[in-house]
Amino acid sequence: MSVPFEEDAGLKLSRYSGEFSNRETEQRFRAEQHPEIVRQAQILFAVAAGFSVLLLTLNLLLPPDPETVLDVIAPRSAAILASLASFFAIGQLEQRYVGPLILTWAVVIAVSSTLLIGIQTHLSIVPVLALPAIYYLALPTHLRTTIVVGVASTILLDVAYVASGPSQDLAMRVVAASVLLNILLIAMRNMSNRRLRIVWAQSHAYRRALSQLAESRHMMERIFKAVPIPLVITSRASGTITRANEAAEQFVGVAEGQLTGRMTGDFIQDPTLRDKMAREIVKTGLIRGAPMEIVRADGEVRSVMASAALMEDDGNDDITVITGVIDVTDQIEQQRQIRAAEREYRELFENAVVGIYRSRPDGKMLRANPALVRFNGYDTEAELISAVNDISDEWYVDPGRRNEWLRLMRENGRVTDFVSEVFRHKTRERVWISENSWTEYDADGKPLFFEGTLVEATDRKRLEEKIEHMALHDQLTSLGNRRLLEERLRQACARAQRYGGYFSLMYLDLDRFKAVNDAFGHASGDQLLQKVAERLKAACRAEDTIARTGGDEFAILSVGIGYPARLSLVAERIIASLSDPFELDGPPVAVGISIGIAIAPIDGVEPKDLMAKADEALYRAKEDGRNQYRFFNESIVARAQNAPLLLEKNRA
């Protein structure tokens, strides 16, 4: 059974042997004690050899019985030889052979002593009681081995003693004494083992503590020197700097060693702060993050956060203080800039004439500035945010624009000048806006929210539409111009090439327009062109493209009309609509019109071909007497006779 010596399980001692229960610990103990074990064993061997030599000499010089001298020489000589051999051998053996050697020696001594008891009965009681005591107290072996040797030698000696013929009473007394002596010696050996091992363990613990303390001090010294935080150690009483690390010297801007001996007050800008901190450190023993300003050697003032703690100086009663500072000058400046930026942003947010917003990816509004609140017809930001649940459905006239906006945000992270038609949320008035938006991301690159600005673009949109209309329309007649005609013709040709179908292109030219212009002036000519445009629009379908392509030249693109008979009716209707005189700011004037017609795909499906063929047909109409129409391909028209199947066959 074991009992704990320390919390460390490896240091538990056996209750019965007093040795370490842990085998490895016991082996380590014996390994360290090996030189002492060898020394003790050699002393034991030397004493045994010397004592045996002395006894042998006495036996030879003063033999109790001359007949027994030879019987004494052999056991004594064996003890002497065993002791001497063990003395010289033990110093050369490995640790694992020391125990067996000692055990062998003990057996030899026990046997030789047993043999001598029967020869020298008057001295027999001495080895019976002394030899086990020597074994228990002097053998540096495991207690189990010692007990075996001690008990075995006691039994041998007791048997030999009883056999030597003493009185029964004396024999009983000697045996009882030897038994009690064994018990007492075992207990003493147990206590001795425990005492030796406790001392050894405490010695080890003490040395380990000293080693750890030295290592800790060495580590703290390295940390003190290497840490990038300025550290100084000062006397609490005087404020004199006794030590400073390299970081402190660099921070203050002095050479190595020049801080030592200086006063801390030399570098603190506020002269009252040093005393205030001294009182605080005495009161609490610790200061954390005290703001102060340090004046460097070059006069620069740096803002720092100082922390200090009391520490006792070994070897004397002086109380020292270790102080560390963290330079926060740049952080303070950054915070000042951040606050200024936040203030500027807040002022911009509140006073901007453009709308500024922040919204979640799911379309929920998070922030809105006053301009955006007013734009949507509300009085407060809270009203707008609570009213808008999903921008996609509640803001954009065309919800598809929100999807397009989200696509651009996913691909580019921002959109620029995104023009859309939206509702003023509260009034549902439709207006145009232009958005500039961007995405804010979290540390993992996931979108947190969207931010952006918007301005109303209704006037801009109208202006753009007006500019676009002007770019594609004739300013005098409001009809399409050549650019619009060519664009629509290109689209019609592309559809015909891809999907089939037919359409027609008419070129028109006023007859006698020049005469009207010359007779009545350009103002009347312009007025005539405007009235001609009105009659052309009345004679055509709403989906037809009517364009003024030159001075008195017009063109009509009719998609879906390809039958010659039907086109003839359209041409005749146009000619008839222009046959009535025109009422101008003077006398009525009469003009005619000539028309050239090209049909797609009969005459081709390329814009240039159709325009050239319509122009050629117009030329023939003028050559044939004016105020009439001509098809480019008169022969096909004649055969068609309004037969769409024939036209389809020819197109194929």
* Token pair 């340090």 in the structure block, residue: 294
Token pair recorded at residue 130: 């002394």
Rounded CA-CA distance 262/274 in Å is 14
Token pair recorded at residue 52: 């045996």
SS3 41: helix
Q: What is the number of helices (H) and of strands (E) in the chain?
A: 21, 17
Contacts of 451 (CB under 8 A, 6+ apart): 356, 357, 358, 437, 438, 440
Q: Which of 182, 197, 204 is nearest to 131 (CA)?
A: 182
DSSP state of 65: -
Sheet containing strand 365-368, strands side by side: 365-368, 355-359, 447-456, 430-441, 414-423
Contacts of 270 (CB under 8 A, 6+ apart): 292, 293
Q: Are 617 and 599 in contact (CB under 8 A)?
A: no
Helix (H) or strand (E) holding 294: strand 286-295
Q: What are phi and psi of 321, to 5 degrees?
A: -125, 130
8 is catalytic: no
- Number of neighbouring beta carbons within 10 Å of residue 460: 14
Contacts of 568 (CB under 8 A, 6+ apart): 629
Exposed, middle or buried by CB within 10 Å (0-12, 13-18, 19+), for 244? Answer: buried
CA angle in degrees (0–180, nearest 5) for 289-295-300: 115
- CA within 13 Å, CB half, 209: 6
Catalytic residue among 158, 552, 603, 615: 552
Rounded CA-CA distance 5/72 in Å is 49
Q: List the beta strands (DSSP E) in 503-611.
A: 503-511, 545-548, 553-559, 592-600
Rounded CA-CA distance 503/488 in Å is 12
* Token pair 């901007």 in the structure block, residue: 352
Contacts of 427 (CB under 8 A, 6+ apart): 377
Rounded CA-CA distance 570/564 in Å is 10
**163-170 LR contacts (CB < 8 Å, sep 24+):** 163/118, 164/117, 164/118, 164/121, 164/124, 165/121, 166/121, 166/124
Rounded CA-CA distance 183/170 in Å is 20
Q: What are phi and psi of 309, to 5 degrees?
A: -145, 150
**Which amino acid is it at 174?**
V
Token pair recorded at residue 15: 């209750």
Which residue numbers are catalytic?
552
